[in-house]
């Protein structure tokens, strides 16, 4: 509670923009050694100096959330812009080589466009669209045109003779008219994978440190997600916590075009180090495991609502606030404002979604291992949540309300193991499946290889005084 109050005060005193600015200025100096992709693998040293520390950042642990939200918002806009720029750029460069130019015209897909709209703007008609869709080869990409993409038409006296649709930076669909109609082919450019290593120590917020180490916000978010079952990133982060991460990036013509996945990561929180190794199982699913092969995540989330306050604990001999009689409180109450999303704490099947006496609107989920969870007093259910439907861990199943016997908006959450009720806050949560026995040996070899890489890169960083290393695979 003290933590929450303090955060509220901070938020009032420092507007969000100010907090963000303060956080971003807290960097003292960032020196990055980048072995960037070049055919001869020449090492280049990049030195970037940020503004010096102006003042200590106020309690940013809680404010991190605001910063995260703001950054996400910004990066979503930037990503969209970047995607549009990419499409334009790719179209320009891909087409500059095509001769002769005078027959070619470019049309950019606008919001709400269908293929017919774009063709019409190019002076073509419905028959032309049909001819193109009847082309020999795969033209399914035309079903997914989106704003910002470009189509180039080669139109001569005889009509449309060729067409190019730039799908992405690495892919374009080319059509050419021959005697028997159009022939289509998708042309792809190969991305070059690079393994990168970054590390950082947290001074103000994870996102600021991630950025200083050269990680994008989405990569930092991914890092937080991997450790989310062990570390509460809203409340548990302390100055001096640190991370190490090996991840993949993809380059095209020497330029980074795509981020890949985190291959291994370490997070040290309040002196305790957690290690996660990514492993792709034989059935093609990728998961993160501890070096011992335990899953990084639990089969259940501890709490079905984010950032909520427990307003009433599990208590089998409680006086009921509405009925004023001794009546067991068989669950945990989370106070949250009406409409707050409620998440399924584990994968399962909806066995009940409807009205049930004092519970009001309630959802009951059946999970593996004889576990059931119950979510009461809901304001409403999420779409597609009805008896028989399947839900995944973390999926929103409904919204906080005060239906049934409730004094105010809150979620009443119950947890049953083989029919007997347990305290949701203290019950031992089952681990998600560990590495299968058949894959244990292969995983262990990978895990020790990744751990020694983490150590080697960390040593390189120490000797070079840098924050990030990139190595051609
Ligand atoms: Zn309750």
User: Each residue of 306-353: pLDDT tens digit?
Assistant: 767 888 889 887 777 676 777 788 999 999 999 999 999 999 999 999
What the block records as the tokens of 279 is 């492993």
Q: Say if residue 149 is in the same domain as residue 175.
A: yes
pLDDT recorded at residue 164: 94
Q: Say if residue 207 is in the same domain as residue 282.
A: yes
What distance in angstroms lies between residue 381's CA and the mean position of ligand 1's atoms?
A: 18
* Residue 59's pLDDT band (cuts 50, 70, 90): very low
What distance in angstroms lies between residue 467's CA and the mean position of ligand 1's atoms?
A: 48
pLDDT > 70 fraction of the chain, expressed in percent and rounded: 76
pLDDT recorded at residue 464: 76
How many Cα neighbours within 13 Å face the side chain of 110?
A: 7
Report d(CA 250, CA 196) in Å as an integer: 10
Q: End of a domain among 119, 153, 188?
A: 188
Q: Say if residue 154 is in the same domain as residue 280.
A: no
What distance in angstroms lies between residue 131's CA and the mean position of ligand 1's atoms?
A: 64
pLDDT recorded at residue 5: 35
Q: Say if residue 282 is in the same domain as residue 374.
A: no
What the block records as the tokens of 256 is 């980074």
Distance of CA 414 to the CA centre of its chain: 29
Residue 342 sits in which domain range? Answer: 309-422
The mean pLDDT of 403-432, rounded to a whole number, is 92
Tell whether the model's pLDDT for residue 8 goes beyond 80. no
Q: End of a domain among 142, 161, 188?
A: 188
Tell whether the model's pLDDT for residue 39 goes beyond 60. no
Task: Report how many domains make up the chain.
Answer: 3
Are the CB atoms for 235 and 206 separated by under 8 Å?
Answer: no
Tell whether the model's pLDDT for residue 65 goes beyond 90. no
What distance in angstroms lies between residue 329's CA and the mean position of ligand 1's atoms?
A: 6
More confident residue, 55 or 383: 383
What distance in angstroms lies between residue 429's CA and the mean position of ligand 1's atoms?
A: 21
* Residue 55's pLDDT band (cuts 50, 70, 90): very low
What distance in angstroms lies between residue 160's CA and the mean position of ligand 1's atoms?
A: 69
* Residue 157's pLDDT band (cuts 50, 70, 90): confident
What distance in angstroms lies between residue 138's CA and the mean position of ligand 1's atoms?
A: 57
What distance in angstroms lies between residue 380's CA and the mean position of ligand 1's atoms?
A: 17
Q: Is residue 465 a part of any domain in this protein?
A: no
Report d(CA 467, CA 473) in Å as an integer: 19
Q: What is the pLDDT of residues 82-99, one digit of tens each?
A: 555 555 555 555 544 444
Are the CB atoms for 217 and 75 separated by under 8 Å?
Answer: yes
What distance in angstroms lies between residue 312's CA and the mean position of ligand 1's atoms?
A: 7
pLDDT recorded at residue 43: 28
For the ranges 49-58, 181-190, 201-210, which has the lowest average pLDDT?
49-58
Q: Say if residue 118 is in the same domain as residue 68.
A: no
What distance in angstroms lies between residue 6's CA and the mean position of ligand 1's atoms?
A: 27
Q: Is residue 208 a part of any domain in this protein?
A: yes
More confident residue, 417 or 10: 417
Q: Say if residue 209 is in the same domain as residue 227.
A: yes
pLDDT recorded at residue 74: 55
Q: Say if residue 69 is in the same domain as residue 206.
A: yes
What distance in angstroms lies between residue 344's CA and the mean position of ligand 1's atoms?
A: 17
Q: Say if residue 146 is in the same domain as residue 184.
A: yes
What distance in angstroms lies between residue 332's CA and the mean position of ligand 1's atoms?
A: 6
Q: Is residue 455 a part of any domain in this protein?
A: no
Q: Is residue 447 a part of any domain in this protein?
A: no
Tell whether the model's pLDDT for residue 27 goes beyond 50. no
Phi, psi of 5 (to 5 degrees): -60, -40
Q: Check which CATH number belongs to the domain holding 9 and give it.
A: 3.10.450.350
What distance in angstroms lies between residue 333's CA and the mean position of ligand 1's atoms?
A: 5
Q: Is residue 272 a part of any domain in this protein?
A: yes
Q: What is the pLDDT of residues 422-435, one digit of tens each?
A: 999 888 888 888 99
What distance in angstroms lies between residue 409's CA and the mean position of ligand 1's atoms?
A: 11
What distance in angstroms lies between residue 336's CA and the mean position of ligand 1's atoms?
A: 13
Q: Say if residue 256 is in the same domain as residue 383.
A: no
pLDDT recorded at residue 84: 59
Q: Check which CATH number belongs to the domain holding 334 and give it.
A: 2.70.70.10
What distance in angstroms lies between residue 426's CA and the mean position of ligand 1's atoms?
A: 16
What distance in angstroms lies between residue 309's CA and the mean position of ligand 1's atoms?
A: 13
For the ranges 78-82, 170-174, 248-252, which has the lowest average pLDDT?
78-82
């Amino acid at each position: 509670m003290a933590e929450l109050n303090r955060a509220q005060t901070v938020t009032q005193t420092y507007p969000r923009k100010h907090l963000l600015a303060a956080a971003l200025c807290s960097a003292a100096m960032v020196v990055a050694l980048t072995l960037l992709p070049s055919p001869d693998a020449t090492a280049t040293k990049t030195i970037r100096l940020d503004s010096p520390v102006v003042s200590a950042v106020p309690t940013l642990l809680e404010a991190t959330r605001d910063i995260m939200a703001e950054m996400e918002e910004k990066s979503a806009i930037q990503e969209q812009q970047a995607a549009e720029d990419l499409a334009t750029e790719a179209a320009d460069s891909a087409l500059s080589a095509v001769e002769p130019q005078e027959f070619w015209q470019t049309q950019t897909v606008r919001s709400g466009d269908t293929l017919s709209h774009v063709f019409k703007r190019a002076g073509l008609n419905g028959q032309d669209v049909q001819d193109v869709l009847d082309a020999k080869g795969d033209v399914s990409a035309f079903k997914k045109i989106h704003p910002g993409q470009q189509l180039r038409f080669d139109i001569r006296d005889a009509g449309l003779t060729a067409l190019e649709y730039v799908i992405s930076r690495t892919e374009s669909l080319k059509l050419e008219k021959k005697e028997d109609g159009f022939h289509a082919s998708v042309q792809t450019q190969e991305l070059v994978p690079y393994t990168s290593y970054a590390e950082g120590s947290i001074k103000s917020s994870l996102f600021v440190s991630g950025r200083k180490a050269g990680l994008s916000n989405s990569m930092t978010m991914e890092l937080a997600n991997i450790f989310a079952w062990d570390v509460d990133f809203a409340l548990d982060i302390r100055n001096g916590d640190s991370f190490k991460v090996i991840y993949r990036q993809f380059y095209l013509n020497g330029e980074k075009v795509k981020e890949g996945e985190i291959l291994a990561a370490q997070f040290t929180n309040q002196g305790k180090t957690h290690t996660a190794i990514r492993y792709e199982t034989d059935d093609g699913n990728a998961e993160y495991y501890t070096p011992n092969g335990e899953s990084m995540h639990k089969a259940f989330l501890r709490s079905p609502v984010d950032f909520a306050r427990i307003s009433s604990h599990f208590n089998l001999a409680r006086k009921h606030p509405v009925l004023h009689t001794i009546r067991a409180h068989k669950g945990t109450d989370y106070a949250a404002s009406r409409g707050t999303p409620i998440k399924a704490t584990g994968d399962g099947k909806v066995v009940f979604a409807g009205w049930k006496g004092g519970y009001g609107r309630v959802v009951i989920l059946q999970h593996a291992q004889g576990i059931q969870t119950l979510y009461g007093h809901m304001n409403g259910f999420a779409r597609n949540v009805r008896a028989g439907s399947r839900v995944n861990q973390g999926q929103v199943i409904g919204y906080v309300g005060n239906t049934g016997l409730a004094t105010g908006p809150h979620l009443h959450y119950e947890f049953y193991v083989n029919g007997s009720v347990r305290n949701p806050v203290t019950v031992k949560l089952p681990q998600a499946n560990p590495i299968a026995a058949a894959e244990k040996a292969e995983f262990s070899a990978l895990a020790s290889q990744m751990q020694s890489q983490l150590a080697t890169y960390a040593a390189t960083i120490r000797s070079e005084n840098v924050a990030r290393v990139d190595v051609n695979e």
